[in-house]
Amino acid sequence: MIAVLTDLPVSGAIHVTPYGDSAPIAQERMGEHNVLWCAPALTDPRATIHALHMLGAHYLWLCETAGALSPLLETGDWLVADDFIDGTRGQHYTFFSDKAGGFVQQVPPFDAASREALLRGAETICARPFRRGVYVCVSSTRLETPAEAAFWARAGAQVVGRYLSPYLPLAREREMRVAALLYIGRGGGQAAAAPLPPATLRTLLAAALGALDRDSL
């Protein structure tokens, strides 16, 4: 089962977990797949990831509107990240905080099959999806400043977003396969942009799920 983490509004069931209440989780049938939808919330992110795992999700794909830090990227572009920088702090980053061990390797950062499926999906709606790029995750509570955008660009990031961390690293600890699909909606250090088009995203994801099925045969 695929879970999609998105910055679009999601209305769904709230699940009680050992880490508190999850964010609302909706379920949708998409072809042969049951797809779980959720959005970042003020709840403990471990609760949401735990709930998705208990509901049977084996994949977690982040689909988010991001800011461009590279001059090669234009508004309306799509990019599937191949690496990330975690610029966040002060969050729940692990399920193993009360144990001496629990370190989960983050190399490679993303699942190769998921990345390829998302790229094939993006090719159905975009003439030139970007096959790679470094995503920097900043605070979920605000957008980055122009100075911060310049700083992260010098650090090697091409896109800036707010929701990868800690959700995707937590999902890795639950042995979920993760990937990040970014819709370029603004320049880095600029005001908030319109969210990614929901109907377009569903078209892309349907094609990506079909590609994932074909590759797994």
pTM: 0.93
Identity at 132, one-letter amino acid code = R
Place of tokens 């919330």: 41
β-sheet bridge partners, residue 183: 65, 78
For residue 16, the model assigns a pLDDT of: 97
The answer to whether residue 61 scores a pLDDT higher than 70 is yes
Place of tokens 């699942």: 111
For residue 98, the model assigns a pLDDT of: 66
The answer to whether residue 206 scores a pLDDT higher than 90 is yes
For residue 217, the model assigns a pLDDT of: 41
Architecture of domain 2-216: 3-Layer(aba) Sandwich (3.40)
pLDDT, average across residues 198-217? 86
For residue 213, the model assigns a pLDDT of: 78
Q: Which of 21-30, 65-74, 93-102 has the weakest average pLDDT?
A: 93-102
What percentage of the chain exceeds 70 in pLDDT?
96
Q: Enter the tokens of residue 43.
A: 């709840």
Domain ranges of the chain: 2-216
Which backbone phi and psi does 86 adopt, to 5 degrees? -95, 105
The answer to whether residue 189 scores a pLDDT higher than 50 is yes
For residue 18, the model assigns a pLDDT of: 95
By DSSP bridging, strand 2-6 and strand 59-68 are parallel
Task: Tell me the per-residue pLDDT of 72-105, one tens digit each, with 9 for 90 and over.
Answer: 999 999 999 999 999 998 888 888 876 655 567 7
Q: Find the helix or strand (DSSP H, E) in which 210 lies.
A: helix 198-216
How many whole angstroms separate alpha carbon 71 and alpha carbon 69? 7
pLDDT, average across residues 197-212? 92
The answer to whether residue 179 scores a pLDDT higher than 70 is yes
Q: Find the helix or strand (DSSP H, E) in which 112 lies.
A: helix 112-123
More confident call, 60 vs 143:
60
Task: Tell me the per-residue pLDDT of 39-52, one tens digit each, with 9 for 90 and over.
Answer: 999 899 999 999 99
